[in-house]
Structure 1
Amino acid sequence: MVKRPPTPIANPLSRIAERNPASLEKYLELFAPLDDKGRYLHFDELRFRFPEGLDHVLAWSIVKLARQRQLSPVLPLGEPPIVGKLMLTPAMQIAISESDRHTTSAALEWMSGKIGEHRHLQYLLNDLVEDEAIGSSQLEGAATTTKVAKDLLKRQRGPRTPDEKMIVGNFRMMQFAWENRHKALSPVLIAELHEVGVAGIDDEKYYPGVFRTTDDVIVQDGDGNTVHMPPPAKGLEKRLARLAEWANANHHDVDNSDYLHPLLKAIVLHFSIGFEHPFRDGNGRVARSLFYWYLFKQDFAAFRYIAISTLLKKAPIQYGKSYLYTETDDMDLSYFADHQCRIVIRAISEFKKTCNKTLEDMEAFNAFLFKSGLYQKLTDKQKTVFQVAKSGIALEFTAVNVKENLGCSYNTAAATLNGLVELKLFKKEKVGREWVFTMLGTDQIIGNWKS
């Protein structure tokens, strides 16, 4: 359980000067919004770091005083409404910089030009677009491996279990967010997003696209403790309309006195849906999808291939605590935003590593093609598929997924794959009603071409 902060003392410095002036200097060292490592810590963590002998209430009051001078109002949340506030931390500044440099549509175009083969990059990206849907499902408890989940999506087979239905639903939700990125936010769009994501999984549990009408929805931790009571169902749609109006307003114009970078606005939108909990279930998935929807809307297109849930699921307790820290400390959104920005920094870093490795692999592959004489024998599509297989981005191929990833006809995709078999680079086997193609081992390929 999170330790709630004590109520701050109104004039802590005066209190210390009156009652314990000898310790004033020690207290003044705490007069900063961040700790000495640049972290924005909640009382739950900070209380263990206060110097020995200091009164925790006074120490916390000093920290709060420093923060209040830098917190800016963002939007009202809940009922009765509490104004959520935000302070820019180092992690937020780094995440904003990384997003501006590496995740815009212009950055994607530059990356494509650097790699030099748009089709090869597109195959990589089409594979990455699945990761958020899978990670978000696993974060919500879907008991399936990433390999099985990718196979499910790539083969486009019908889901057989509730977990598989969740993965397919999340994938559709992300596709819906992308396809509807130019629309204005509204309660109707939020409901549609939920319906697309959860319909057909367990309708009696999720009530697809229907806002909750009762106050019996609660959030519990792993031990069964109630950690969040959402605002009342009465007035929910009105509050969502207010949230939508805020989301649709322009806060990123440089002349706006209420300037808020799109990344931070997307994070606040993520928090707001999680806080309101507008549905009986599936709220986390909707919240994360709306985070992406807003970034897509603001032309941060590379976020389509950057999976935050993959990292969130590695430390779900911290993700949950970032919500609670905000809620238990006067709706200070800095806790949640700082945590999310640290995740975003890592996710962008992983995206960059994948793209750079793709570039290195492609250069090595081109050298192999030239030396072996394969270059003249492979078609452009075969080069793309072979390189993808060689780099490990995908291990199994079917005519259906090659057709989708390369944007060609089914017959062309089948001919591409069968041609790789004829060149003794791939093998194929019948799985159900379709042929599944896989690359041969490197040693076997070399042996085939030496003989």
Structure 2
Amino acid sequence: MGRVRVPAPLEKLMQEVKPEKFLRLLGKYKATDAQGRYLHWNDFKWRVESGDDELAAWGATKLARRSIAKELPLLQAEGDRCFSYCVPESLLAKLHAIDKLTGGSREIGASVPVSSYERSHYLIKNPIQEEAITSSQLEGASTTREVAKEMLEKNLTPKDKSQQMILNNYLLMQKAVESQDEELSLEFILELHRIATHKAIENQARPGELRNENNIFIADAYGENAFHPPDWQTLRERLTNLCDFANSDRSQSDNFIHPIIKAIVLHFAIAYIHPFGDGNGRTARAIFYWSILRSGYWLFEYVSISKFIQEKRGEYDRAFIYTETDDFDLTYFLYNQTDTIEKAVKSLYEYMDRKRREFYEFMEWIDRSPVAKTLKRGHLEILKAALRAPGREFTARQVAIDFGVTENTARSYLNKLVEKDLLVQAKPKSGKTVLYLAPANLKTRLQI
């Protein structure tokens, strides 16, 4: 990420640039450019038309933005200044696209012809696992996806701090989902942080405790654009105001805030306030999920945003810097996150399409296979997973958790498949847990 050029405040521009230069360009330069882009000075200065004074053009743009800006008085920035944001037409279009993607799909689980196990395991468990893993990797966890998924799937004890961070994030996501009907409070924020950082915290910080010092310095790759979080003595007041903002219902008021905007603002605000010595990012993303679910966007229980933040991490970090260096204008971060959210929701639908195709392929096999006709639904679900991953290990405990049955029932399913020569039973060198392996030639054995 290159150095960010910091724009001069509008008040200073008004003093330095002659009024007639502003006036001539007011109708020409608006809140966004002709392509709907909400440009920061860092990018804007290179796109000013030849012959136009770039400072005057920037001033005209800033005046256009200020005319549609909405201030957030509960969210203090520096001194007596507060954060604000705009909703230009191009951002409104992005919000509308997300609403369309998430608004008409209440029966998404029922509309996909899969079993109740598939719905709980693939619609809920897998996306939460994905969010837990990627959110941890954003914060420095180094465990591979394969190892992380095995740990979560088999309920294994974390072996190092990276694995602990992933398990914590998994529990954190579950907590956000379970608590969506609760109001945000300081105690709840501390609880989320405690879950996020249990046995996985740096900087001598303590889980569930606010920082009590100011020796935190955040900079870009060049050691520039430094950000010093607010004074630790203001944290409780800031978080109390943040909770008031989060809990307020403005759906019927003249000062309506779109629920997606509200959730994104909360995400940003926790990162800006930086209430903890470590774990702020994980806590911020959990509060985003809490807010969006509380607003009725139930589909986000299945949506993972961290994967797409990670893919464009430079743009994510730059959106923070743009906001902090341009009059605390949150619009830059809103554009960044609405793009991320739209990609994440579309990814969910692509995922469901794949599951639908897998289901139909599996049902075709059931119609053809003489072996399948002798098995119960539980057996078929295990075989479906085995077909997807030759060599996969199953245990009675893991199958019991996945299916919501007793370990004895799970063991009976697995033993039946061994009798049918569809799984291979094995014992590990150490321990008493019996393993059931998916053979590499399972398709042949099933006569697919």
Report the TM-score when normalising by structure 2: 0.90
Deviates more, 1:129-138 or 1:215-224: 215-224
1:10 matched to 2:14? The reply is yes
- Give the direction of change, closer, same or farther, for the CA distance of 1:396–1:329 in structure 2 (3 Å limit): farther
The answer to whether the 8 A contact 2:7-2:41 is kept is yes
Match of 1:178, as an amino acid?
A: V
Partner of 1:145: 144
Partner of 1:250: 249
Q: Distance in 1 between matches of 2:199 and 2:135?
A: 18
Q: Within 5 A, what are the aligned runs for 1:6-405? A: 6-8=8-10, 9-10=13-14, 14-16=19-21, 24=24, 27=25, 30-75=28-73, 76-89=75-88, 92-103=91-102, 107-125=105-123, 126-202=125-201, 205-225=204-224, 227-251=226-250, 253=251, 255-391=252-388, 396-405=393-402
The answer to whether the 8 A contact 2:26-2:61 is kept is no
The answer to whether the 8 A contact 2:235-2:275 is kept is yes
Q: Distance in 1 between matches of 2:35 and 2:82?
A: 28
Deviates more, 1:291-300 or 1:51-60: 51-60
Q: Distance in 2 between matches of 1:112 and 1:103?
A: 15
The answer to whether the 8 A contact 2:390-2:438 is kept is no
Cα offset, 1:267, TM superposition: 0.5
Deviates more, 1:218-227 or 1:59-68: 218-227
Deviates more, 1:337-346 or 1:290-299: 290-299
Q: Distance in 1 between matches of 2:327 and 2:82?
A: 8
5+ residue gaps, structure 1: 19-23
Cα offset, 1:79, TM superposition: 4.4
Q: Aligned Cα RMSD in Å?
A: 2.7
Cα offset, 1:438, TM superposition: 4.6
Cα offset, 1:316, TM superposition: 1.4
The answer to whether the 8 A contact 1:361-1:391 is kept is no
Match of 2:119, as an amino acid?
A: L
Match of 1:439, as an amino acid?
A: A
Q: Distance in 2 between matches of 1:178 and 1:353?
A: 23
Match of 2:14, as an amino acid?
A: A
The answer to whether the 8 A contact 1:270-1:291 is kept is yes
1:416 matched to 2:413? The reply is yes
Cα offset, 1:116, TM superposition: 4.9
Cα offset, 1:236, TM superposition: 1.1
Q: Secondary structure at the match of 2:233?
A: coil
> Structure 1, residues 106-140: CA drift from partner, whole Å, max 9, x if none?
83534324425332222212122111111110011
> Structure 1, residues 316-368: CA drift from partner, whole Å, max 9, x if none?
12111111111111111111011001000000011110111111110111011
Cα offset, 1:417, TM superposition: 2.8
- Give the direction of change, closer, same or farther, for the CA distance of 1:184–1:324 in structure 2 (3 Å limit): same
The answer to whether the 8 A contact 1:218-1:226 is kept is no
- Give the direction of change, closer, same or farther, for the CA distance of 1:382–1:29 in structure 2 (3 Å limit): farther
The answer to whether the 8 A contact 1:308-1:343 is kept is yes
Q: Distance in 1 between matches of 2:285 and 2:196?
A: 12
Match of 1:57, as an amino acid?
A: L
Q: Distance in 2 between matches of 1:84 and 1:393?
A: 53
Q: Distance in 2 between matches of 1:320 and 1:176?
A: 26
5+ residue gaps, structure 2: none
Q: Distance in 1 between matches of 2:219 and 2:436?
A: 45
Report the TM-score when normalising by structure 1: 0.89
Match of 1:10, as an amino acid?
A: M
- Give the direction of change, closer, same or farther, for the CA distance of 1:98–1:114 in structure 2 (3 Å limit): farther
> Structure 1, residues 63-90: CA drift from partner, whole Å, max 9, x if none?
1122122222234323424222222246
Q: Distance in 1 between matches of 2:423 and 2:33?
A: 56
The answer to whether the 8 A contact 1:32-1:63 is kept is yes
- Give the direction of change, closer, same or farther, for the CA distance of 1:142–1:249 in structure 2 (3 Å limit): same
Cα offset, 1:28, TM superposition: 5.5
Deviates more, 1:320-329 or 1:407-416: 407-416
- Give the direction of change, closer, same or farther, for the CA distance of 1:203–1:425 in structure 2 (3 Å limit): same
The answer to whether the 8 A contact 1:137-1:167 is kept is yes
Q: Secondary structure at the match of 1:73?
A: strand
